[in-house]
Amino acid sequence: MRSITVGTRGSALALAQTRWVVARLKEEWPETEFRIQTILTKGDRNRASLESMAAQGDKGFWVKEIEDALAQSRIDIAVHSLKDLPTEQPEGLEIASIPQRVDARDALVGKEGMKKLAELPQGARIGTSSVRRKAFLKAFRPDLEVVELRGNVDTRLAALAGPEYDAIILAAAGLIRSELRNRIDELIDPTILLPAPGQGALALETRSDDDLGIEVAYAIHDLATDDRTTAEREFLAGLGAGCMAPVGAMATLKSGVLTLQGWVAALDGSKVIQGSTQGDPAECADLGAELAQDMLKQGASALIDAARG
């Protein structure tokens, strides 16, 4: 029996999404044995330094060790949250497959009486560590207080039991994949909070010369998700921004037309530049790159430079 080793971070969410991937792969390849190998990343080892590393523009905080294991054939397929993958792909490795996206949106989880973003009382305290969520929240409701909240999904939900936060914001997909969908109080409308590029989608990474691994992974590829997230990630790359920038992007597909929305904000939410474009999904990469160029000209460069510090 042929055997494929699938590598992932060891967090509850990473394991939940990897088990989902393996279950889907098993449906397509019933004769193949799949093993799951967890790998500790710099992000897991040293959460405290996350902020400073990110500020220095360290890319691939959650992926480096996993990519090393892949390159050294200790694993055959790596499962990542697409949102955490740098837009530049390392030599010798490729994204072989993007499975179907769950939900791209952000979710609000609130205490009693704190279940809707628009209805939160003046000065309500919202927990998030994302510069994107913070900037867009402040733009929507400058009265809200954004309070730093780090950690994995369980840690963040547990923090809501304490006095520091009235509500927290997380990716809906993380809750859904962790079977915590019932904790979602509001799926936040993307006209208020545009999701991160690639949010809610996974990426299966392989060695570029591993035809078998590529074929196995590709069996669960979803073309619509690929087109949408390619447009979103090319927008991010075209801005010259990383995952730590206050940038949102979301593409939708309807009647064969891809619509891409992109937002770039000042860190304090005092300014948000919004743009959108439409076209043939086959041109998804160009649509993303062109929207980035347009918005850089409209003043997004200054915002991105400022966010970089």
Catalytic residue positions, numbered: 84
Stretch that binds ligand PBG, among 51-59, 111-119, 170-178, 296-304 (CB under 6 A): 170-178
Smallest distance, Å, CB 112 to ligand PBG? 22
Q: Is 170 in the site for ligand PBG (CB under 6 A)?
A: yes
**CA dist list (Å): 131 to 149, 196, 216, 267, 277:** 11, 11, 36, 7, 24
Smallest distance, Å, CB 201 to ligand PBG? 6
Dihedral sign, CA of 126, 132, 136, 138?
A: positive
Contact string 47-86 vs ligand PBG (x = CB under 6 A): ----------------------------------x-xx--
Smallest distance, Å, CB 113 to ligand PBG? 23
Orientation of helix 284-295 relative to helix 223-239, angle to 10°: 30
Nearest residue (CB) to ligand PBG, 75 versus 108 = 108
Q: Which of residues 109-168 bind ligand PBG (CB under 6 A)?
A: none
| Alpha-carbon 17 to chain mean position | 13
Stretch that binds ligand PBG, among 46-54, 171-179, 206-214, 230-238 (CB under 6 A): 171-179
Smallest distance, Å, CB 127 to ligand PBG? 11
Q: Which strand ranges, in their side-by-side order, compose the sheet holding 186-187? A: 145-147, 125-127, 167-171, 106-110, 186-187
- Compute the residue count for the chain: 309
N-to-C CA span, the chain: 53
Task: Return the number of other C-beta atoms located less than 10 Å from residue 114's C-beta.
Answer: 21
Q: Which of residues 193-232 bind ligand PBG (CB under 6 A)?
A: 199-200
Q: Is 174 in the site for ligand PBG (CB under 6 A)?
A: yes
Backbone angles phi, psi at 206, to 5 degrees: -135, 170
Total residues contacting ligand PBG by CB under 6 A comes to 9
Smallest distance, Å, CB 242 to ligand PBG? 12
Pick the closest to residue 130 from 238, 54, 42, 229 (CA basis): 54
Q: Which residues bind ligand PBG (CB under 6 A)?
A: 81, 83-84, 170-171, 173-174, 199-200
